[in-house]
Chain A
């Protein structure tokens, strides 16, 4: 058993997708473990509102694919309904775990809104589904065998930095409480660096977790490794690379499981 890290709030970006339910479960469990407040954030996507404001855009339904005009007011009402549902989900989860909670609705883009809300020690849980690109279309229309994401391993990125150590401790704690395997992704330019990181991690955890070498520390590589390992939770350092839109969008689009960003 490793020591749990102290933190501020558990900030959860959520909507009403299945991925969001899994993330809410994770966030509520963490908040209960760490005696932290659970803060829910629902973002009214600026991109979507822009689409609604453009004069020529049409919406293509899944059941009736003939394009139909956008109605900005209807769009806003739909977003309000989603926000209300998300709020209710959060309240129910908080009530079950007897948590302090708060809920905010912000308009903008998810990355900027989330990091604007989360302060340094806060843990950020990403449970939103992507909205832009082919991925949402594919997730909606392509049938795949059901996977038990909740039972997958806890995958963490450890880079040897102080924030990386905090990430490692939290990931080990999660693996222990979820009775899941802990898999470490070690960004190392060489085998030697990989061995050094693996040794340091083993020393910290007083045991030898499964380690996978990452050639670099780019988000796309991490997302690919998490998918490959069929991760149940991805834990990584919420550093500046994610605060920019591209890295965050990659996490949203390429990772299926809840993502825990350690501040």
Chain B
């Protein structure tokens, strides 16, 4: 044989065991919890940097697969960090007496928000008791009476002067239906026209003149009345203000003193005082008075008046908190993120006020940390834009989407934006991170720190021990039975299988935890006090059994001959390829029959999958590489006069990936060399233009897929799988496969070149080129000879065509 003949892999190469003897414990009950995340040094350092960096834009994107423990690690780091920091401020909204539609945001030290709220509530209660009492007091009544009497007397005196003057002149003042009039009188009774007519003319003129003068006097007095009324009202108002100030002043002064260090509250309390004085009648109404519909509409609705404007909306209360908050928002809708203004239905109308402002996660996390799932965030309309705007402006502005995008302009509340100082941690996968970085210009500005979680860690004795402690931690956390060291070893092996690499361990903690929980269940069923390796095995088998209905149907179709897969005999141009089906969390391998036909042509290898659009681009690339390989190796100095067709037989869906390119090349070479391929083998691997075999994915599932078919048909001892040599380190095969290999009933060969593969598949010799020529009878020699013949044929056809074209019409080969 020209190529170095590969020998079957040993059981140790097919499955790297974890030796339980390396552990110095009997069960995980004896070992400590794991206080760290395994193998995430880079991500931990990045996260620590991001958390500690108190600058705008240094928010974190933590990337890694779901279930890898990202959230646990970040929460752990945040809790460590926040424990060293002071608790953040309380935030309140209060009424804006100048612009009622723009409630004021007030920041107070933790715990003072609730105090302010209670103080204001108490103030209103006290005023509702104090103000009516003062107005009903003797002192107030006395002073009100003084003012009333003073003006009453002033006016009465003015009227009486007119009246006395009238009496002095023998004239009386009378009330008429629409006013007043003067008339001459005798003995207190008005003189009749007849009596007046009898008076001497001089007397008549005097009366007439006096009446006119009295009318002028009365006219002047009546002109003064509105002025007196205004003056009286002003005096009463001033009195009332004095009285209310007396009642309010000392109460508000006490609050001013209590909140003296907060200028915004000083201004607010001044406004409160002015508003109370200006609306004192609200406080004078009895408590049992039914509130007016208008008051109810404005959200008051308290008996006797609307006092809601004096209340405090304690939006964020950190009174009971000793460290900055760590908020994990599971449902990041735009309202859950930036808050909202609720509306109440009152008498069929929707009303609101500053008390209906509700906080979002950004409010609650302000001064601390906010954890968000990137996918959930991006799936919510407007949320991503709202978050970016808040982070960019460093303010939380509560707006509805309609306001945000200018779609509605109805009057609504515009709460004063709240300064934002928060560290946002986005948790997501890598693809999303790279998409955001590529397509969202603001993303890089706002999320400057990426913490990239490793999917796997190297398999070493140290890490095995760390995993043992992780199992111990999970067992204690989830109240599982302890795991004996055999079970721990089996779990570690399963982590390697999950990683698809015998040299690596998967960091997907959730998968490990799931398997541990399921094994605990089976241990319970088996009445064991500690989980044993058998329980892990049982859990793995049960999990596969639960998920492998489709695999069963697929294998059944092969065994019944519905899908034709040969596992014995030999066939020219036909080879068993292997493919992997991923169904949710379960993957399984299945052989596919790959056939190749060759004939005279112009060097095209036709991929029928691609022709019918059932082949993906990577698969097509693999097929094109085959053309290049054939041309380079066998027809470097003459035209590749070949037409070939490659088919995945009985496939009815998309074929993607280049892991079948080795099998396709073997089928082609078999067809060209007319050397049959042994059907007891299945082949997987990709090839390059030089015929070197390259690694592929899913090697374990592929081997197991062919093994299952062979096993059910009966293992002959000849059957086996050819895999790339580069995949040997990835082997973590099922126990039954390893056992069959150990008994030499099933073989796994690692090949590095297509020549090695062809020798194994055909039992022939590949043949090494000497001075550009392959030995006659070798596989390569037969291929080269066939291609030589095809080239000569093509040349001959070409000459005939040219001759025919010179004299008559000619026909061309349809394959050319």
**Chain B residue at smallest Cβ distance from A136:** B175
Are A60 and B181 CB-contacts (below 8 A) given A134-B159, A138-B159? yes
CB neighbours (8 Å) of A50 from chain B are: 183, 190-193
Which segment, of A62-70, A196-204, A215-223, faces chain B?
A: A62-70
> Judging by beta carbons under 8 Å apart, are A57 and B218 in contact?
no
Interface centre among A62, A70, A136, A141 (most CB of B within 10 A): A141
Could you tell me the distance between the alpha carbons of A70 and B225 in the complex, rounded to whole angstroms?
A: 23
- Min CB distance B206 to A, Å, is 11
Could you tell me the distance between the alpha carbons of A51 and B145 in the complex, rounded to whole angstroms?
A: 37
Could you tell me the distance between the alpha carbons of A51 and B176 in the complex, rounded to whole angstroms?
A: 9
B163 at the interface (CB under 8 A from A): yes
B463 at the interface (CB under 8 A from A): no
> Judging by beta carbons under 8 Å apart, are A133 and B219 in contact?
no
Question: Which residues of A128-143 are within 8 A (CB) of B?
Answer: 129-134, 136-138, 140-143
B569 at the interface (CB under 8 A from A): no
Are A57 and B152 CB-contacts (below 8 A) given A65-B218, A109-B189? no
> Judging by beta carbons under 8 Å apart, are A48 and B176 in contact?
yes
Q: Mark B138-158, 1 if CB is under 8 A from A, else 0.
A: 000000110010011001100
CB neighbours (8 Å) of A55 from chain B are: 193
Could you tell me the distance between the alpha carbons of A231 and B178 in the complex, rounded to whole angstroms?
A: 29
Q: Mark B173-197, 1 if CB is under 8 A from A, else 0.
A: 1111111111110001111110010
> Judging by beta carbons under 8 Å apart, are A145 and B190 in contact?
no
Are A67 and B215 CB-contacts (below 8 A) given A51-B181, A141-B155? yes
Are A57 and B211 CB-contacts (below 8 A) given A78-B177, A132-B173? yes
Q: Mark A26-69, 1 if CB is under 8 A from B, else 0.
A: 00000000000000000000111011011111111110011100
**Residue among B151, B159, B193, B225 making CB contact with A54, cutoff 8 Å:** B193
Could you tell me the distance between the alpha carbons of A66 and B216 in the complex, rounded to whole angstroms?
A: 9
B45 at the interface (CB under 8 A from A): no
A245 at the interface (CB under 8 A from B): yes
> Judging by beta carbons under 8 Å apart, are A138 and B174 in contact?
no
Are A65 and B222 CB-contacts (below 8 A) given A54-B183, A54-B193, A78-B178? yes
B223 at the interface (CB under 8 A from A): yes
CB neighbours (8 Å) of A189 from chain B are: none
B162 at the interface (CB under 8 A from A): yes
Could you tell me the distance between the alpha carbons of A79 and B193 in the complex, rounded to whole angstroms?
A: 19
B232 at the interface (CB under 8 A from A): yes
Question: Which residues of B81-137 are within 8 A (CB) of A?
Answer: none
CB neighbours (8 Å) of B162 from chain A are: 134, 137
A144 at the interface (CB under 8 A from B): yes
Interface centre among A60, A65, A144, A245 (most CB of B within 10 A): A60
Could you tell me the distance between the alpha carbons of A53 and B173 in the complex, rounded to whole angstroms?
A: 15
CB neighbours (8 Å) of A67 from chain B are: 215, 219
- Min CB distance A38 to B, Å, is 25
Count of chain B residues with a beta carbon within 8 Å of a chain A beta carbon:
43
CB neighbours (8 Å) of B219 from chain A are: 60, 65-67
CB neighbours (8 Å) of A133 from chain B are: 163, 172-173
A249 at the interface (CB under 8 A from B): yes
**Residue among B160, B184, B212 making CB contact with A134, cutoff 8 Å:** B160
> Judging by beta carbons under 8 Å apart, are A145 and B183 in contact?
no
Are A59 and B156 CB-contacts (below 8 A) given A47-B190, A133-B173, A134-B163? no
> Judging by beta carbons under 8 Å apart, are A142 and B183 in contact?
no
- Min CB distance A214 to B, Å, is 24
Count of chain A residues with a beta carbon within 8 Å of a chain B beta carbon:
42
> Judging by beta carbons under 8 Å apart, are B179 and A61 in contact?
yes
**Chain B residue at smallest Cβ distance from A63:** B179
B270 at the interface (CB under 8 A from A): no
B321 at the interface (CB under 8 A from A): no
> Judging by beta carbons under 8 Å apart, are B232 and A143 in contact?
yes
Could you tell me the distance between the alpha carbons of A90 and B205 in the complex, rounded to whole angstroms?
A: 44
Could you tell me the distance between the alpha carbons of A143 and B155 in the complex, rounded to whole angstroms?
A: 10
- Min CB distance B140 to A, Å, is 12
Q: Mark A75-89, 1 if CB is under 8 A from B, else 0.
A: 100110010000000
**Chain B residue at smallest Cβ distance from A64:** B179
Could you tell me the distance between the alpha carbons of A59 and B189 in the complex, rounded to whole angstroms?
A: 18
**Residue among B148, B182, B225 making CB contact with A145, cutoff 8 Å:** B148
B545 at the interface (CB under 8 A from A): no
A117 at the interface (CB under 8 A from B): no
A246 at the interface (CB under 8 A from B): yes
**Residue among A65, A82, A138, A249 making CB contact with B155, cutoff 8 Å:** A138
- Min CB distance B230 to A, Å, is 11
CB neighbours (8 Å) of A134 from chain B are: 156, 159-160, 162-163, 173
CB neighbours (8 Å) of B196 from chain A are: 54
CB neighbours (8 Å) of B175 from chain A are: 129-132, 136-137, 140
Q: Mark B199-231, 1 if CB is under 8 A from A, else 0.
A: 000000001100110010011001101000100
**Residue among B145, B159, B176, B223 making CB contact with A59, cutoff 8 Å:** B176
Could you tell me the distance between the alpha carbons of A168 and B145 in the complex, rounded to whole angstroms?
A: 34
CB neighbours (8 Å) of A143 from chain B are: 148, 151-152, 229, 232
CB neighbours (8 Å) of A109 from chain B are: 189
- Min CB distance B432 to A, Å, is 75
Question: Which residues of B501-546 are within 8 A (CB) of A?
Answer: none
CB neighbours (8 Å) of B148 from chain A are: 143-145
**Residue among B160, B188, B191, B218 making CB contact with A60, cutoff 8 Å:** B218
> Judging by beta carbons under 8 Å apart, are B222 and A62 in contact?
yes
Question: Which residues of A119-176 are within 8 A (CB) of B?
Answer: 129-134, 136-138, 140-145
CB neighbours (8 Å) of B193 from chain A are: 50, 53-55
> Judging by beta carbons under 8 Å apart, are B183 and A246 in contact?
no
> Judging by beta carbons under 8 Å apart, are A132 and B172 in contact?
yes
> Judging by beta carbons under 8 Å apart, are A141 and B183 in contact?
no
- Min CB distance A252 to B, Å, is 12
CB neighbours (8 Å) of B189 from chain A are: 46-47, 109, 245
Could you tell me the distance between the alpha carbons of A57 and B185 in the complex, rounded to whole angstroms?
A: 13
Question: What 4 additional pairs, Cβ within 8 angstroms, besides A47-B172, A62-B179, A65-B223?
Answer: A47-B190, A136-B180, A143-B151, A144-B148
Cross-chain pairs A/B with CB under 8 angstroms, 10 sampled: A51-B174, A56-B212, A60-B222, A65-B179, A66-B219, A67-B219, A109-B189, A136-B173, A143-B229, A145-B148
Across chains A and B, which 9 residue pairs bring their CB atoms closest together, nearest first? A134-B163, A78-B177, A53-B193, A47-B190, A136-B175, A61-B179, A65-B222, A51-B183, A50-B190
